[in-house]
Structures are given as C-alpha cells and as structure tokens.
C-alpha cells in the first residue's frame, strides 16, 4: 500500500509515516512547513519507500498528482493549536476548508480512499459527556474567533461525507482528542509539551483559565494505531470515529503530575483566559470521548495510561535539552 499524507512533517504525520514504513508500506509526504518541521522527518529520509514534497495542500496540480500516485490519502494538513487559531482565524478557515476541498476533488477522479482528520473541537459547548459521534454539535458565536477552527473542521466533515454520498468517494472521518507524545511542540499552545519544558527548566508552569477544565490526553502511538486500522477496514468508510482515551484529568492536576514526574520545583501559576488570549475567549469544562464505536469497528481503543504518556514526553524533552 502507498499512502499519501498531507501535513506529514507535523507531529501526528511524522509518527504515522514511521509506523507505516515499519509495516512495509510506502509513504509520500506533503507539507508546507508552516507548523510542521523537516526535523520530524530526518530519521525517515533515505528509508526505502519514503518520499516527500515541500508544498501547499491548496496547490491543485501538485495535490492531484500526489493523490493519483497513491492508494490512500490521510489528510492531516490544517491550522493547529489554540494560539494560532485565535490569532489567525482567516488562515485557519482558508487552510482547513480549501485544503480539504482540493484533496477530495483529487480523490474523486479515481475514487481513492481519503481519511480526514477532524477534532474534538467540533463538539463545541456540548455537555453530553462522553461525546459520541452521533451527538449534536453546539458552537459558540461567530464573533469569537475561538470557534473558527471547530466550524472549519465541521465543514470539512460535511464536505467529506457529501463527497462520499454524492460522488462515491470512500471517506473516513477521525475526530482526534488531544493527541500528545514525544516530538510535539508547545509552540502553538500544546499544553503537555509546554508543561514539560517549563518543569524541566524550573520555570513557572502556566495554567490558563481556572485549571478545573478537564481533558483526555491520548498517546500518539494509539492514534497512529487507530488510523492504520481504519485505513485497512472497509466497514469504516462513510463513518465518523472518535480517537482518544477516556482517562480524564484537569489541567491543574496535569500540571501537578508533570511537575512531580519531572522532579521539578516549578511554581504552578494560573493565568486568566483574558490575559492569555483575546478578550471573551471561551473554553469547555470537559471533553471526554466515547471510543466504543472505534473499538467495535476495528477491535482497538486507546488505552496508554497518562502516566506513560507524561514519562515519554519528559524523556523526549530531556533528550532535546541535552542536545541543545
């Protein structure tokens, strides 16, 4: 199997590329390096079956050529990270929606399988925990750019399913819930690597909001395993799947666990949202997935304990600091 990965130089994309290569598949990566990094692909360059292109997912001729060369497309390219989304809503909407449109248009020419990365953000303000794929989506007002990402990814989902129903394109939608692990950057507001770096440096660990908001942090290896299984499962076509662990933790408790695991003396500091982001920023109190549908379809659900995930992130950050 030959797999084309948009955004393949990013965090999830680079881990997925390695896993596919390890299983004997060929991988072709496209990335514009706006949030991805060639450093993520260094270990893959020179491996048999691996190739990459530097370019944008909105480049129609380029994407059409690369989709045509492969059996499956995993569309990961998107604007990511809370800070980037709040600060650049135009970039967020244009990149996410237009990129998905280009990929689906190319795939429709020869009915190629497309796996579209979506997000738990689409559940918006829903309080129906745990979130299930058939739940209603409750967005905030358009006056708050916080919701631009959620709305753009929801539109990606509708577009993908429309191509499936109207044009017969095999499409699978994956809603990621806070995928974390070694190699993730804290540059755009990714909380676990940020906490790890602050703890190891002895800097204040900055918790935005009250710290009582809770999330479920799934290990990237589990996310990759779920993606590969979905690619290989015909019954998944035309379906939407949550991908994430249901081990819930408050952000303050996460900071405490990172501090303890790092043996750090860092102070944990709470910063109001209005100081961290734009005025009127909204966040959800809880975000917990149900992975029942995923498990029923592919026989797998993310189960890596948060303790292991924290340890892996700290190990990676220690190694990075040693190299620096």
| Catalytic residue set | 149
Backbone dihedral angles phi then psi of residue 82, each to the nearest 5 degrees:
-55, -45
Q: Indicate the helix (H) or strand (E) that contains 259.
A: helix 251-262
Kindly report the CA angle at 280 between 97 and 80, in degrees rounded to 5?
A: 30
Residue with tokens 């990075």: 320
Which among 95, 94, 100 is positioned nearest to 117, based on CA atoms?
100
**Strand, coil or helix: what is 172?**
strand
3-class state of residue 317 by DSSP: helix
**Residues 306 and 253 sit within 8 Å (Cβ to Cβ):** no
CA gap 297, 236 in Å, rounded: 7
Q: How far is CA 95 from CA 32, 60, 113, 140, 293, in A?
A: 11, 13, 21, 21, 29
Q: Is 280 left (phi over 0), alpha (psi -120 to 50) or beta?
A: left
Strand, coil or helix: 18:
helix
Compute the distance between CA of residue 76 and CA of residue 80 in angstroms, rounded to an integer. 10
DSSP 3-state assignment of 137? coil
Q: What is the DSSP string of 230-244?
A: HHT-GGGTT-EEEE-
Q: Which sign does the torsion angle of CA 94, 187, 17, 228 carry?
A: negative
What's the rounded Cα separation, in Å, for the pair 3 and 47?
Answer: 15
The answer to whether the CB of 73 falls within 8 A of the CB of 115 is: yes
């Amino acid at each position: 199997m030959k797999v084309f990965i948009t955004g393949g130089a990013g965090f999830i994309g680079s881990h997925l590329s390695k896993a596919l290569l390890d299983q004997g598949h060929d991988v072709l990566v496209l990335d514009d390096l706006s949030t991805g990094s060639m450093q993520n692909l260094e270990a893959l360059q020179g491996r048999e079956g691996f190739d990459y292109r530097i370019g944008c997912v909105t480049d129609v001729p380029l994407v059409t050529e690369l989709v045509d060369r492969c059996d499956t497309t995993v569309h990961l390219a998107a604007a990511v990270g809370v800070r980037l989304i709040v600060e650049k809503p135009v970039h967020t909407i244009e990149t996410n929606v237009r990129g998905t449109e280009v990929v689906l248009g190319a795939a429709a020419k020869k009915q190629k399988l497309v796996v579209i990365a979506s997000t738990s953000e689409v559940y918006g303000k829903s309080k129906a925990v745990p979130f299930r794929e058939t739940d209603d989506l409750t967005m905030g007002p358009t006056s708050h750019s916080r919701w631009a990402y959620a709305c753009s990814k929801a539109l990606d989902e509708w577009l993908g399913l429309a191509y499936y129903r109207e044009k017969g394109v095999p499409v699978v939608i994956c809603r990621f819930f806070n995928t974390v692990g070694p190699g993730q950057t804290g540059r755009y507001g990714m909380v676990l690597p940020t906490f790890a770096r602050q703890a190891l440096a002895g800097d204040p660990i900055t918790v935005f909001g009250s710290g009582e908001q809770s999330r479920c942090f799934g290990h990237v290896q589990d996310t990759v395993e779920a993606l590969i299984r979905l690619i290989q499962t015909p019954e998944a076509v035309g379906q939407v799947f949550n991908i994430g662990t249901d081990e819930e933790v408050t952000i303050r408790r996460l900071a405490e666990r990172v501090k303890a695991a790092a043996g750090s003396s860092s102070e944990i500091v709470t910063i109001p949202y209005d100081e961290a982001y734009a005025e009127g920023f909204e966040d959800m109190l809880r975000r917990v997935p149900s992975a029942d549908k995923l498990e029923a379809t592919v026989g797998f659900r993310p189960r890596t304990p948060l303790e292991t995930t924290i340890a892996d992130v700290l190990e990676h950050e220690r190694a990075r600091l040693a190299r620096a």
